[in-house]
Amino acid sequence: FKSEEVSQVRGVVLQKSTCEYWNKIWDFQAKPDDVLISSYPKAGTTWLQEIVDMIQNDGDIEKTRRAPTDIRIKYLSNEVMKINYLAGLDKANEMPSPRVLKTHLPVQLLPPSFWKENCKIIYVARNIKDNIVSFFHFQRMNKGLPDPGSWEEYFETFLEGKGLWGSWYDHVKGWWEAKDIYPILYLFYEDIKKHPRREIEKVMEFLGKNLDEKVLDKIVYYTSFNVMKNNPMSNYTLSSLMNQSVSPFMRKGVIGDWKNYFTVAQNERCNEDYREKMDDTTLSFSMEY
């Protein structure tokens, strides 16, 4: 990526603007009743935001849709708010409790107050192959992010951990380890896709909510891909940063789209890299796709 667009914090590649305001982000004050949604970008963050918001609003879709997803749930960074760098953080500080916040930070860069306050955190992870493809398209269509270059270049940058938000491996493994110490619900995109109701129930229980069957049915329906794709509050059509004609934000929403992009050689390279770098963890992704 172009050097004027990115920089690093403790070896993790982040947008330059995030790095410039790093001290403010690091000093962010979490509150005990905050809920944090955390993920590597393109793992299903927006999906989880919609699920959490619907659960918090007892399945009331009107309340959930009162504003676009990124305004309802504050981002602990500034990417979305290019014009005012501190808007994300400032707005988060002003938000009434109980707050739901969102971050893409790797575990070692999470502002320490979240650990101190023992906040509930929901992490969502997605298999590396689909995650690469989804991120590639996102960087193509998001004017606020560096140009990803060619698919071949992007693929290598990603595997080497030199992409935005750092190494996918460090991210998913780091949060996986943290879940043994802190109140973290660790979810997988693939599970939510295959068993939406079961996974939504998990989130509900984790948040200490008890919603009846009908409400759950409603949440499953309103958070399904096609409904979210047609919902301007969740598909980012209102964002001027995203050029949806290059690639829609709600792009495909499937498991296994990587097969349309990976060459045989890239698949072998990824499998080998994956075996090597996932050798030291109990975390595993179903590799049937």
Which residue in 104, 137, 171, 195 is the catalytic one? 104
| Backbone dihedral angles phi then psi of residue 49, each to the nearest 5 degrees | -60, -45
d(C-alpha 126, C-alpha 131), whole Å: 6
CA pair distance 191, 173, nearest whole angstrom: 18
Minimum gap (Å) between residue 205 Cβ and ligand A3P: 20
Identify any residues that bridge with 100 across adjacent strands, giving them in sequence order: 35
Minimum distance, C-beta of residue 7 to ligand A3P, in the bound complex (Å): 22
- Among residues 193, 195, 200, 215, the alpha carbon closest in space to that of 57 is found at 215
Which pair of structure tokens corresponds to residue 141?
């269509």
> What's the min distance (Å) between Cβ of 57 and ligand A3P?
17
Task: Give least dist CB 286 to ligand A3P, A.
Answer: 16
Q: Whole-angstrom Cα distance, residue 134 to residue 180?
A: 29
Strands (E) located in 114-221: 120-125, 184-188
Q: How far is the CB of 257 from ligand A3P (least distance, A)?
A: 6
Q: Which is nearer to ligand A3P, 34 or 79 (CB)?
A: 79
- Give the residue with the Cβ less far from ligand A3P, 145 or 250: 250
Bridge partners for 103 per DSSP:
38
| Active-site residue flag, 104 | yes
| Amino acid at position 213, single letter | E
Taking the complex as a whole, the smallest distance from the CB of residue 107 to ligand A3P amounts, in Å, to: 17
Token match 């500034």: residue? 78
Name, in order, each residue with C-beta under 8 angstroms of 49's C-beta and a sequence gap of 6 or more: 37, 69, 72, 73, 100, 102
Question: For ligand A3P, which is the closer residue by CB, 186 or 225?
Answer: 225
Nearer to ligand A3P, 209 or 251 (CB): 251
Closest listed residue to residue 110, CA positions, set 21, 6, 36: 36
The nearer residue to ligand A3P, 142 or 266, going by C-beta atoms, is 142
Q: Dihedral of the CA atoms 13, 36, 132, 166 (nearest 10)?
A: 20
Residues engaged in binding ligand A3P (CB under 6 A): 39, 41-47, 130, 134, 137, 193, 223-225, 228, 250-253, 257
How far, in Å, CA of 232 to CA of 210, rounded?
A: 28
Instruction: Name the residue nearer to ligand A3P (CB basis): 47 or 114.
Output: 47
d(CA 140, CA 159): 18
The residues annotated with a catalytic role in the active site are: 104
